[in-house]
Amino acid sequence: MENECPDCSAKLAINQTECSYCGAVRQNADEALLLELMNVLRKYETARARGNKLVMESLLADGYESVEIGYGEEERFDRQKTIEIAGGDKDFLSIGIIGEELLERTSETAKMACALTTISSGTISSEPYFARAKVSFVCREGHWQIAAEHLVITDKNGQEL
């Protein structure tokens, strides 16, 4: 049985995920959702690092809650506090998301796990910031928003600090 490439309509074998003709990659619904959630998370983390409160407001759900664990402490933040203390890091360079995994999904909610790396040229040690994250999302009016984050600060090897 064959399928068609969504981009160029070339015939694909049932188990073929990349079009030999145009190079388009076919994704299942979970893969497509995970990419969309990663994009939301990347936009949010970039806005938070740069202190872009307008973008943060659009990406955080009304009941947003965050828990950050590291260095023997646990800190909790609600939506208002998170937006209030957002950075303005002029030295922010990039956010990396690796090891992403979709943990659960419904039509209006999703949860993913990943590792985050934030790189800023202005840090004292010039070392990236590492964290393991579980992030919950809600879909409001067709757009995904972050409902909750659980972050564990780690060293570069993934060991909790």
89 has pLDDT over 80: no
127 has pLDDT over 80: no
> Percentage of the chain with pLDDT > 90?
61
Domain boundary assignment for the chain: 29-154
> What whole-number distance in Å separates Cα of residue 19 and Cα of residue 9?
9
Q: Which CATH number fits domain 29-154: 3.40.50.720, 3.10.450.50, 1.10.3470.10, 3.40.50.300?
A: 3.10.450.50
Residues sharing a CB contact under 8 Å with residue 28, sequence separation 6 or more, in sequence order: none
DSSP 18: B
CB neighbours (10 Å) of residue 45? 23
- 61 or 155, greater pLDDT: 61
- Mean pLDDT of all residues in 129-156: 95
Q: Report pTM.
A: 0.81
What is the reported pLDDT for 1?
38
Strands (E), 71-142: 73-78, 92-105, 109-120, 129-140
